[in-house]
Amino acid sequence: MSIFTGAAVAIVTPFNEDTTVNYEKLDELIEYQIKNSTDAIVICGTTGEASTLSHEEHIDVIAHCVKTVNGRVPVIAGTGSNSTETAIYLSKEAEAAGADAVLLVTPYYNKATQGGLYEHFKDTADAINIPCILYNVPSRTGCNILPETAVKLAKDVKNIVAIKEASGNISQIAKLMHLADGCMDVYSGNDDQIVPIMSLGGIGVISVLSNVAPKQTHDICQACLDGDFKKAAEMQFDALPLIDSLFSEVNPIPVKKALNLMGYEVGPLRKPLTEMEEANANVLKENLKLYGIY
């Protein structure tokens, strides 16, 4: 059974001005998401600046999210690491905190072989009982999970059940779908590829766009799930200028700027991420207006 179908938000981690975690604001964002039809919450992912959270903060943010959501939608905790030992530790803590699943990014910097990836993900999944979603984003990690490796993991490890595909390589994703033949769910990891991936059999998206447009992102996915790809494509096209702006600088710089422009006051970024360049911010503002959410 799928962890979720539709649109999951890769939610930002709001900070106070001193860059401590703003838990009150996190609650507000979660309620906004659930009210606007988000199908799942992904906490402490790339968009949540997990790489600059301490282990203690990471675990506390996951636990806080689980408590606030209170079973209304699935909570998927980002627990991947370039260290297998750390990934196992964070995954165990997420399970203990009540997360419904974990999201495991490919080990970054190490650039493991396919055999190394297999052992890393298998060891991590074997250490817990909740479902695991693999996360393939080679542009950020320098490491690509080949379709054969992903499918072997899904067939060999009972709780590896899905993959978030953000390679941007539609040919690779099509091959993955063909080889998997239904043995694992596929989620788009790119907001501009929701409809193409779902047309191949994907069941949803783990989305940055959902931070600022949760209902619209859910509706794109729902149209695909309903088989109305013409309608879904039209909605996808309408969102493309905003999506482009949300990725005009490294994520989550633009999406945090967008939320601040919208009045959500999610605070600053943690270094080495810095504030958005003024020219890009002005284009983002215009595209938020064009999309009707600013």
User: What does the domain layout of the chain look like in residue ranges?
Assistant: 6-226
CATH architecture of the domain with residue range 6-226:
Alpha-Beta Barrel (3.20)
Q: Is the pLDDT reported for residue 230 higher than 80?
A: yes
Cis status of the peptide bond prior to 268, with omega within 30 of 0: no
What is the number of other CB atoms lying within 10 angstroms of the CB of residue 112? 20
Average pLDDT of the residues in 129-149 = 97
- Give per-residue pLDDT as tens, 97-137: 999 999 999 999 998 999 999 999 999 999 999 999 999 99
Categorize the per-residue pLDDT at 249 as very low, low, confident or very high, splitting at 50, 70 and 90: very high
Residue-level pLDDT at 294: 82
Chain mean pLDDT for the chain: 97
Q: What is the pTM of this model?
A: 0.97
Residue 284's pLDDT is 98
Of the residues 89, 118, 164, 257, only one is catalytic, namely: 164
Q: Is it the case that residue 213 has pLDDT exceeding 70?
A: yes
Catalytic annotation, pick one of 25, 89, 118, 135: 135
Give 277's DSSP letter.
P
At 2 the pLDDT is 86
3-state secondary structure of 286: helix
Catalytic residue flag (residue 135): yes
Q: Tens digits of per-residue pLDDT, 5-64?
A: 999 999 999 999 999 999 999 999 999 999 999 999 999 999 999 999 999 999 999 999
- Count the Cβ atoms, other than its own, within 10 Å of residue 214: 23
pLDDT band at 1 (very low <50, low <70, confident <90, very high): low
State how far the alpha carbon of 178 is from the alpha carbons of 155, 173, 182, 223, 259, in Å. Answer: 14, 9, 8, 23, 38
Give residue 288's pLDDT band: very low, low, confident or very high (50, 70, 90).
very high
Identify whether 164 is a catalytic site residue: yes
What's the pLDDT at 146? 98
Count of residues making up the chain: 294
- Is the Cβ–Cβ distance between 68 and 104 less than 8 Å? no
Query: Can you state the angle between helices 147-156 and 114-126, rounded to 10 degrees?
Result: 30
What's the average model confidence in pLDDT over 67-84? 98
